Amino acid sequence: MRTATSLQTFRHNNAVYSVAFSNSGAQLASGSLDKTIKLWSLKEGTEISQLKGHREAVCSLAYLPGDETLLSASLDKTLRLWDVKSGELLSTLSGHQAYLTCMAVSNDGALAVSGSQDKDLIVWDLANRSQLALLSGHSDFVDSVAISPDGKLIASAGHDQVIRLWDIEQRKEIQQLGPHSSPIWSLIFSPDGKTIAAGDDDRVIRLWNLETATLRGEFAGHTGTVKSLIYSTDGSLLASGSSDSTIRLWNVQSGDTESVLSGHRNTIYDLAFSPDDKRLASASFDRSLRLWDLSR
C-alpha cells in the first residue's frame, strides 16, 4: 500500500467543484458553487486572488501553457479566459443552450471542448477565442469530456450511458464504446492515449482499450458513484473520487488499490495530479480543497 498524507486544506464558501494545478506546480486554482475561482500559492499555503464574474458554479478549470492564462467553465453556459497575474477577464465564450457541465483542453492549449445539458459538444479555438465546431449525437446530458494526448480525438459521455469518440479534424463521431449500465460521470484518456477510463453510477471504473474497442478491465472498490478520474502524468496511477467521500489510488498495471484517502466529508467532484506526480489535489462538496502528499 502507498502512504498518502493530507498536507493542506483550503476552503470556499460553498461546494468546490473543480481544481487544476498550474503547469509549474506552484499554484492551484479552484472553482466553486459560490461562483468564484480562487488561486492558491502552494509555497505560502495562502490565497493569492479571487476571480469573479461567473453567474453559476465553476465546474472545470485549466491553466494554459505558460501559466499566464486560466480557462474556466461554468454552469452559466460560458467559458472564460483570465489573466492569471492581473485577474483580468480576457474573453467570454458563449454558445451552449443549457448548463455547461464539463470542459477539457488539449495539451498544446490550442483547443478546448465543452459539454452541456443541451446534449451537444462545442470545440473552441482558444487562440482566436471562437467556436470551431458543434458536435451533436448524444441523446441526453453530457457529463464528461476529454481530449486525447495527441489532440486528435475527443471522448464524451453522460446520461445516455455511451462513450462517444469524435475525430476533431473531421468534426464527426467515429466510434462508440459501451453502453454502460448507468450514467457515466467521469472519463479520462491514459497518457499514452491507448485507454479510456470511465466511472459511473455502478461504482465501478471501466477501462476501454481503444485499439480493439473492448473492455480491458474493471476497478471495483468504491461504494458510491465515481465522480472524478485522473491519471498520473507517468500513467502508472489512476486516482478516483467518489460520492462515498473517498479517493482511491489504483495501480494501473495490477488493478490493485494502492491507497484509500479519507478526510473529505462529501462527494469528491474533481482531482488533479501535480506535474511531478508527488501531490494530488481534490475538490469536494464539503467546501474544501485538499492537497495530498504521495511522495512516500
Which residue, 85, 100, 181, 82, is CA-closest to 145? 100
Q: What is the percent of the chain where pLDDT is above 90?
A: 97
pLDDT band at 295 (very low <50, low <70, confident <90, very high): confident
Instruction: Report pTM.
Output: 0.96
For residue 286, give the 3-state DSSP assignment: coil
Segments making up each domain of the chain, as ranges: 5-293
What's the pLDDT tens digit per position in 200-228?
A: 999 999 999 999 999 999 999 999 999 99
Q: What is the percent of the chain where pLDDT is above 70?
A: 99
Residue the block writes with cell 459538444: 121
What's the pLDDT tens digit per position in 82-111?
A: 999 999 999 999 999 999 999 999 999 999
Mean pLDDT of 130-150: 97
Please name the CATH architecture into which domain 5-293 falls: 7 Propeller (2.130)
84 backbone dihedrals φ, ψ, rounded to 5°: -65, -40
What's the pLDDT tens digit per position in 5-18?
A: 788 899 999 999 99
CB atoms within 10 A of CB 251: 15
Length of the chain: 296
Mean pLDDT of 160-166: 98
Torsion of CA 213, 216, 220, 223, to 10 degrees: -10
